[in-house]
Structure 1
Amino acid sequence: MIQSMTGGCQCGRIRYTAQVEPEKAYLCHCKMCRKATGGVSIAFANAPHDKVTWHTEPDWYQSSPIAHRPFCSHCGTPLGFAFLEGGNLDLTVGSFDDPSPFRPSQNYAIESMLTAWADVRHLPGTASAENPNVVKRWQAAGLKLPD
């Protein structure tokens, strides 16, 4: 089901609204996406270009001879991926204001998948609020711990 969802960069300079299908998100494991985002994979949601409204135009980096990527040059947030010739844009799931409706439907570029990171549910976990150094820093800045 197509939903209208909003998103943007960390500093708030770049904002967008997109018509997406949250149940069709996917993880890209290609080496170029890993380098572009700094992550072990990146979650994307695909949308036609004409279904994405940039309220502030992002900066664009031509990451290869065939593709470019929107990002914010102020805070560095990667916002997506698009082929130079094509009608669609992949938006980073993490840049949506509420990414909770997204569900991965597939993996892409599995030849580059870092399998040690494929399932980390068995590892011990710590909530941000349980880290006194982080809590203290936010409080010293006069702010509460972000969600």
Structure 2
Amino acid sequence: MWIQIVVLLGMSTAITFYFLNQYERSKRTPTPRNVMQVIAKLQPSEKRFGKASEKQVEQWLAKKLDRHYENVQTQLSLGGREKIDLDIENGKVGIEIKLAKKLRSRNEVNRLIGQTTMYKAKRYHQNNLIILLVGNTQNYEHPHIKEVKQVIEKEALFFYLKLT
């Protein structure tokens, strides 16, 4: 009798643990939508990131996303010279980071459009590519940013992370 009770309790504990584990995993499955929700909650300061490089923003964001998702990689090679800034869980979501202040140049705008097209063709063709621009409100108002947004939104998800 006691053995049966112990066995039942053990099985019930194992089943409960299994379903809780499945729930936690499903909650952490990266989709472009929930990745953008995580990013939207971040509040990078102008003081800290106003003069930061793209690489510094990339490293900071990778650490933040690593708390929410498994296997966040930086500078993942897509073949040739193309490398995406962040890849989450082996291609489920890709993020290309750009500093808004750098997109004042026509060359940088064209480069970003080209990168977006290549990344989408090579790996992120299921509407799972996020183009993340980082900058202050002043940069957001620049005509090149508005143009980039219109073009990018046809190819990928566009998100502007404003420095506070």
TM over 0.5: no
Larger radius of gyration: 2
Give the structure-2-normalised TM-score: 0.27
Higher RCO, 1 vs 2 (CA within 8 Å, ≥6 residues apart): 1
Q: Which has the higher helix share?
A: 2
